[in-house]
Amino acid sequence: MINFITRHFTSLWALITAPFRALWRFITRIFPPREFTVMDTPRGNVYTYNQSSFWRFTKFCAKVGLFTWAAWSTYVFVYHRPLLQHRTQQLEQARALHTRQMTDLQTYLSKYNELTKNLNVIDDKILNTKKLSDSEKEDLMKSRAKTSGELDFLQTRITEMFENDEYTAEYTKLSELSAEYELTRAENEELKRRNNQLAENMFAISEADAQIIDSVSKLASDKIEELRAKLKKVSSTVATLGVNQNTLIANANKYSSPLVGAAFSPIDFGAELDPKYQKLADSLELWSGLSKLTTILPFGAPVKSVRVTSNFGMRKDPFTGQPKRHRGIDFAGKIGTELMAVAPGRVVSAGERVGYGTTVEIDHGLGFTTLYGHLSQITVSRGDWVRPGTVVGLGGSTGRSTGPHLHYEIRYKGVPFDPTKFVKE
């Protein structure tokens, strides 16, 4: 042995370190020293650096260690995290089971104490009561047998509690069902109370509804009669125009303008509701149509001081003396007399017109227009919306006129008709 050491190694230390030196030579062959050059371009300097085998091996080991740590962390995150979550869930379930067992155990213990007390009382009665009839003894024995059976049942359930993970405590179930029953009964009583209150409210609403319908129906009926009376004065004139009053009412409901308002939407309740609602809806529709129609039609005189100097119809022409049809009504008035719109509408013409001189024409809707002729001045413009009482011009004697006055016409679809009954409404 000594000869072998002295033959191949210079000393004992050389023998001990030989494996490490061999390993180091192997490492230096894999990671030989390297030299690299770095050039400082702005200054033109060149620097040379040496990397030893030890430095390169150390970097390699650091990289291997970092890679190993990353791989292990990923493995732990991917595999062990779900496992940890599963274990946590199992722990929570175990805690819940333990809590349930403790609760049920307390329930069983309380029931056990109660049954034991009852059993002792029964035994005391059987043993110490001297005068007991046969029926009383039989009842006591039955009660004792029942109590003993319940005690046996408790023992079975306690054993099952600790041996079966899926057990359900009978007393706990009964307690929960009782609580649910009491809650449901309380809710049922509350629902009954609310239903009774709702029925009372519905009855009150029904009575109020009937009163409201009666009041509105009476109001609508009164207003309808009042409006019909106003229209009756011009019904004969309207009839000569070849238009039905009901048609005018229906068209009035469909008409809309900034001054008259939006169109009326008919209400249809259907056959399933009480007919009184549809009757009221029809009355309201008629009321709306009559109200809008009396607003649209040009009722009233265009001057404050009404004095008619020439009526509608045949007369002697003031220039030729020959019979000629007069297409409107002439009102007496001085130059500058204010002339007013008699109904809401829009100015469709404001300017000179042959024979009429300075003229204003207003469209009131549903085919009705009014015309003001022989004016000395116009105070509105074409396209203006005017309300009743708006001054549209001043009296004069322009055009084919023999003196200051106002020539006033009402037209239906461009054709003049006798406006007398509209003026004297």
- pLDDT tens per residue across span 145-171: 887 777 777 777 777 766 766 655 554
Closest CA to 361 of 325, 316, 414: 414
Check whether 1 has a pLDDT greater than 60. Answer: no
- pLDDT tens per residue across span 211-244: 777 777 777 777 778 788 888 888 888 888 888 8
Segments of 379-422 assigned E as strands:
385-386, 391-395, 405-412, 415-417
pLDDT on residue 139: 80
Residues paired with 46 in a beta bridge: 39
Number of neighbours of residue 272 by Cβ within 10 angstroms: 5
Query: At CB < 8 A and 24+ separation, what contacts does 190-198 make?
Result: none
Exposed / middle / buried, residue 112 (Cβ in 10 Å: 0-12, 13-18, 19+): middle
Q: Tell me the pLDDT of the chain averaged across its residues.
A: 81
pLDDT on residue 86: 79
pLDDT on residue 6: 59
pLDDT on residue 23: 82
Q: Domain spans of the chain?
A: 31-168, 220-296, 308-423
Distance, CA of 159 to CA of 171 (rounded, Å): 15
Task: Give the percent of the chain with pLDDT over 90.
Answer: 19
Which helix (H) or strand (E) is 27 found in, with range? helix 12-30
- pLDDT tens per residue across span 382-391: 999 999 999 9
User: What's the pTM value of the predicted model, to 2 decimals?
Assistant: 0.52
pLDDT on residue 376: 92
pLDDT on residue 425: 61
Distance, CA of 65 to CA of 261 (rounded, Å): 88
- pLDDT tens per residue across span 266-277: 877 777 777 777
pLDDT on residue 183: 65
CATH of domain 308-423: 2.70.70.10
- pLDDT tens per residue across span 337-363: 999 999 999 999 999 998 899 999 999
Distance, CA of 419 to CA of 425 (rounded, Å): 10
